[in-house]
């Protein structure tokens, strides 16, 4: 049996290698015009090579030429970007139209007299039982309230300064700006920092490493920067002429963050209002910073 299989395979391979000639003759003169000598194995190799070359050529055309855009499922990247842009514009227009319709409906309601009026005033007490009651606090009561509030504020501030000064005493606070202190820390007058007068256009520097919590303009304090430091310490810099850092920026100690100025309603001249807060309590900056 093995010899029979080997003989069949040998016969088959010999048939593949047999040479055949394809001849084209003139029908009238029988002159030979074209002749091609091939074997079945050579024909198979030729057809396979042509198939591989054609397949590679077609794939290259589809992958690297604009012809792929005509094939279903493919598209142009620029067209997709344009579609996304148009979709976003349509959504924006839809919201704008909805807001305009809401505005027009309110205008129509006003013209039709359906606008919401003022709430009615509460009825007066006609019994007269409370007419002669004196609800104004006396001078002694006002003095007692003021003393309690002041003592609580001062005692709380002193307690924080006494108990917490040791917890953050190992921090080295960089001097924000060199100058003269014109107004010291005074919690009784709601002044929770120090006012420092320095040269015009003097740079204000961060007192510790930290992240900017707020950087912007307020009507009362002008340009303000608040920085969050380690151990829940926060420093505040007010009345700046301009700021050089934005919310979320990380700053190092001694890095310039603003320029001293005179912005805001709560100022009477160019200076820096500097505050230090620890765990939600204001501390006296002069206990930690040498100005």
Q: List, in sequence order, every beta strand (DSSP E) within the chain.
A: 20-25, 32-38, 180-183, 194-197, 203-205, 210-218, 222-228, 233-243, 250-251, 256-260, 272-278, 281-283
Q: Which one-letter DSSP state was computed for residue 68?
A: G
Asked if pLDDT for residue 211 goes beyond 90, the answer is yes
Q: Does residue 226 contact residue 235 with C-beta atoms inside 8 Å?
A: yes
Question: pLDDT class for 157, splitting at 50, 70, 90?
Answer: low
Asked if pLDDT for residue 151 goes beyond 70, the answer is no
Task: Using a pLDDT cut of 90, give the percent of the chain over it.
Answer: 30
Asked if pLDDT for residue 117 goes beyond 70, the answer is no
pLDDT value at residue 21:
81
User: Regarding predicted confidence, which is higher, 153 or 30?
Assistant: 30
pLDDT value at residue 123:
64
**Closest listed residue to residue 174, CA positions, set 278, 244, 274, 280:** 274
Asked if pLDDT for residue 162 goes beyond 50, the answer is no
Full set of structural domains in the chain with CATH = 1-92 (no CATH), 167-287 (2.70.70.10)
Question: pLDDT class for 41, splitting at 50, 70, 90?
Answer: confident
**Average confidence score pLDDT of the chain:** 81
Asked if pLDDT for residue 176 goes beyond 90, the answer is yes
Question: pLDDT class for 195, splitting at 50, 70, 90?
Answer: very high
Mean pLDDT on 151-163: 52
Question: pLDDT class for 119, splitting at 50, 70, 90?
Answer: low
Q: Which one-letter DSSP state was computed for residue 283?
A: E
For the ranges 4-8, 73-77, 115-119, 223-227, the lowest mean pLDDT is seen at 115-119
- Tell me the torsion sign for CA atoms 30, 34, 40, 43: negative
> How far is residue 291's CA from residue 260's CA, in Å, rounded to a whole number?
15
Mean pLDDT on 203-230: 93
Neighbours of 143 (CB within 10 A): 11
> How far is residue 143's CA from residue 149's CA, in Å, rounded to a whole number?
10
> How far is residue 167's CA from residue 173's CA, in Å, rounded to a whole number?
14
Q: Does residue 190 contact residue 239 with C-beta atoms inside 8 Å?
A: no
pLDDT per residue as tens digits for the range 47-105: 999 999 999 998 888 777 777 666 665 656 677 778 788 888 888 888 888 888 888 88
Mean pLDDT on 244-264: 92
pLDDT value at residue 152:
53
User: Regarding predicted confidence, which is higher, 150 or 14?
Assistant: 14
Nearest-5° angle of CA 74, CA 79, CA 81?
Answer: 115
Question: pLDDT class for 204, splitting at 50, 70, 90?
Answer: very high
């Amino acid at each position: 049996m093995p010899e029979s299989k080997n003989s069949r395979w040998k016969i088959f391979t010999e048939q593949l290698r047999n040479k055949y000639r394809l001849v084209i003759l003139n029908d009238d003169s029988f002159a030979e015009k074209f002749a091609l000598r091939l074997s079945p194995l050579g024909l198979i190799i030729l057809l396979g090579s042509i198939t591989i070359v054609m397949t590679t050529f077609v794939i290259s055309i589809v992958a690297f030429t604009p012809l792929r855009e005509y094939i279903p499922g493919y598209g142009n990247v620029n067209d997709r970007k344009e579609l996304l842009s148009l979709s976003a514009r349509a959504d924006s227009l839809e919201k704008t139209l909805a807001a305009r319709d809401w505005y027009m409906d309110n205008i129509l309601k006003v013209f039709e007299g359906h606008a919401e009026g003022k709430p009615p005033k509460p009825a007066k007490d006609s019994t007269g039982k409370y007419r002669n009651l004196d609800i104004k606090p006396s001078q002694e009561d006002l003095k007692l309230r003021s003393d309690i509030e002041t003592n609580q504020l001062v005692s709380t501030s002193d307690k924080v300064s006494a108990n917490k000064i040791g917890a953050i005493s190992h921090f080295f606070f960089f001097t924000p700006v060199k100058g003269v202190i014109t107004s010291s820390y005074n919690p009784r007058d709601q002044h929770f920092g120090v006012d420092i007068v320095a040269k015009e256009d003097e740079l204000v520097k961060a007192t510790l490493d930290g992240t900017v919590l707020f950087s912007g303009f307020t009507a009362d304090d002008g340009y303000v920067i608040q920085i969050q430091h380690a151990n829940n310490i926060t420093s505040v810099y007010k009345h700046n002429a301009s700021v050089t850092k934005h919310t979320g920026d990380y700053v190092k100690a001694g890095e310039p963050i603003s320029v001293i100025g005179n912005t805001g309603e709560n100022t009477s001249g160019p200076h820096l209002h500097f505050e230090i807060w620890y765990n939600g309590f204001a501390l006296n900056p002069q206990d930690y910073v040498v100005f």
